[in-house]
C-alpha cells in the first residue's frame, strides 16, 4: 500500500519499492531511482563555496569544453549563418559553462541560490535569480536548454521536461549532464550498503546538503521519460567524473574526513584510477530533441 513516505514513479505513476535506505526508492517497472530527501536551497548553507570551486573548477571547465565541442557537432545547422543559437542554462552556479558558451551562443542562465546568482551576475553574465520555469516569461523560447548536474536535483522531472518543451523552439534540444546510475562509483556505493556501509551512498545522493539528488538516471530511464514528454533521445556521451587535479579538495569539501583519511582515500583512488577510468563512467550527457 502506498503511504505518504512512499513516492510515486514520475513515469509509471505507481508506488515505488524501498531501495537501499529508508529514503531511497526504485520503480518496479522502469527502474527509475528516486529519493524523499528535501531540498533546502537558501535555507541552510553547509558548503564552503570557495573550497567547492577549488575542488570542481578544473574538472568542470574541462568537461564543459568537451561538451560544447560535442554540441557544435550534434546541433549543427540549427540557426542560419551569422545567427547564434539561444541557450539557457538552468542552475548555472559559478557561471563556468556560460562563460565558455558565450563564444558561440546567445547564452543566459537561471540560478536558484540567490547568493550564488549575485556572484555570477557580478561577473557580468546574464543570470536570473529564481526557479525554472517560473522565472521565465510565457513567450520565451530557446534553441537549447541545458542542465549541468542540475536536473537530478529538481522535483517532478516529467513536469520539468514538459516546461522545457514549451520553452524550446521547434527542433530544440535539452542537454542533460548528470550522474549515471550505471556508473562504477554509484554501483559500488550501493554494494557497500549490503555491508552496512552507507557513507559513500549518502555522498552519492548528497545527503545532508542544501540540494540533494532527488533522482538517479540512466539511458533507459531517461529515454522513457523523454518519449513520454515528446522528446527523442538524439545522442549520448560519457564524461570523466574524476581527475587527480583538485581531487583532494573534492574529497574534503563535502565530507567530514580528517586530513589523514582524506589522503588515504586520495591515494587509493590514484592507485586504482586506470581501472576506474576503464569502467562504466559515472557522468553522462544525454541530448534530447523536441518532437
Contact 274, 243 (CB under 8 A): no
pLDDT at 266: 65
Q: Is the pLDDT of residue 139 over 70?
A: yes
Q: Is the pLDDT of residue 63 over 60?
A: yes
Task: Give, in degrees to the nearest 5, the angle at Cα 253 between 178 and 193.
Answer: 65
Question: What is the rounded average pLDDT for all residues in the chain?
Answer: 86
Residue 179 CA to residue 191 CA, distance in Å, equals 17
Q: Averaged over 151-176, what is the pLDDT?
A: 96
pLDDT at 64: 95
Contact 219, 286 (CB under 8 A): yes
Lowest mean pLDDT segment, chosen from 190-199, 225-234, 248-257, 258-267:
248-257
Confidence band, pLDDT 50/70/90 cuts, at residue 188: very high
Q: Is the pLDDT of residue 82 over 90?
A: no
Confidence band, pLDDT 50/70/90 cuts, at residue 44: low
Q: Averaged over 205-211, what is the pLDDT?
A: 89
Higher-confidence residue: 255 or 91? 91
pTM, entire model:
0.86
Grid cell in block for residue 91: 542552475
Contact 285, 70 (CB under 8 A): yes
Burial label for 275, CB within 10 Å (0-12, 13-18, 19+), is: exposed
Q: Is the pLDDT of residue 1 over 50?
A: no
Three-state SS sequence of the chain: CCCCCCCECCCCCCECEECCCCCEEECCCCCCEEECCCCCCCCCCCCCHHHHHHHHHHHHHHHHHHHHHHHHHHCCCCCCCCCCCEEEEECCCCCHHHHHHCCCCEEEEEECCHHHHHHHHCCCCCEEECCCCCCCCCCCCEEEEEEECCHHHCCCHHHHHHHHHHCEEEEEEEEEEEEECCCHHHHHHHHHHCCCCCHHHHHHCCCCCCCCCCEEECHHHHHHHHHHCCEEEEEEEEECCCCCCCHHHHHHHCCCCCHHHHHHHHHHHHHHHHHHHHCCCCEEEEEEEEC
Lowest mean pLDDT segment, chosen from 42-51, 94-103, 237-246, 251-260:
42-51
> pLDDT, tens digit, for every residue of 220-246?
999 999 999 999 999 999 998 666 566
Q: Is the pLDDT of residue 159 over 50?
A: yes
Q: Is the pLDDT of residue 271 over 80?
A: no
Amino acid at each position: 500500500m502506498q503511504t505518504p513516505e512512499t513516492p510515486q514513479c514520475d513515469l509509471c505513476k505507481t508506488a515505488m519499492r524501498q531501495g537501499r535506505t529508508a529514503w531511497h526508492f526504485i520503480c518496479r517497472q522502469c527502474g527509475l531511482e528516486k529519493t524523499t530527501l528535501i531540498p533546502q536551497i537558501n535555507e541552510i548553507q553547509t558548503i564552503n563555496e570557495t573550497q567547492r570551486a577549488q575542488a570542481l573548477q578544473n574538472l568542470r571547465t574541462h568537461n564543459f569544453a568537451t561538451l560544447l565541442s560535442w554540441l557544435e557537432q550534434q546541433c549543427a545547422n540549427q540557426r542560419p549563418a551569422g545567427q547564434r543559437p539561444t541557450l539557457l542554462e538552468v542552475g548555472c552556479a559559478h557561471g563556468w559553462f556560460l562563460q565558455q558558451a558565450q563564444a558561440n551562443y546567445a547564452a543566459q542562465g537561471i540560478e536558484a541560490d540567490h547568493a550564488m546568482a549575485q556572484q555570477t551576475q557580478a561577473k557580468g553574465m546574464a543570470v536570473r535569480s529564481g526557479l525554472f520555469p517560473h522565472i521565465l516569461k510565457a513567450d520565451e523560447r530557446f534553441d537549447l536548454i541545458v542542465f549541468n548536474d542540475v536536473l537530478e536535483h529538481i522535483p517532478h522531472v516529467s513536469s520539468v521536461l514538459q516546461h522545457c518543451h514549451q520553452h524550446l523552439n521547434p527542433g530544440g534540444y535539452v542537454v542533460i549532464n548528470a550522474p549515471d546510475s550505471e556508473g562504477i562509483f554509484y554501483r559500488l556505493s550501493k554494494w557497500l550498503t549490503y555491508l552496512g556501509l552507507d557513507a559513500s551512498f549518502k555522498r552519492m545522493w548528497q545527503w545532508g546538503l542544501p540540494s540533494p539528488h532527488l533522482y538517479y538516471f540512466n539511458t533507459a530511464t531517461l529515454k522513457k521519460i523523454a518519449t513520454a514528454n515528446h522528446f527523442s533521445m538524439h545522442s549520448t556521451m560519457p564524461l570523466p567524473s574524476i581527475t587527480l587535479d583538485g581531487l583532494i579538495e573534492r574529497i574534503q569539501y563535502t565530507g567530514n574526513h580528517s586530513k589523514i583519511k582524506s589522503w588515504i582515500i586520495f591515494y587509493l583512488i590514484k592507485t586504482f584510477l586506470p581501472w576506474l577510468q576503464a569502467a562504466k563512467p559515472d557522468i553522462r550527457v544525454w541530448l534530447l530533441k523536441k518532437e
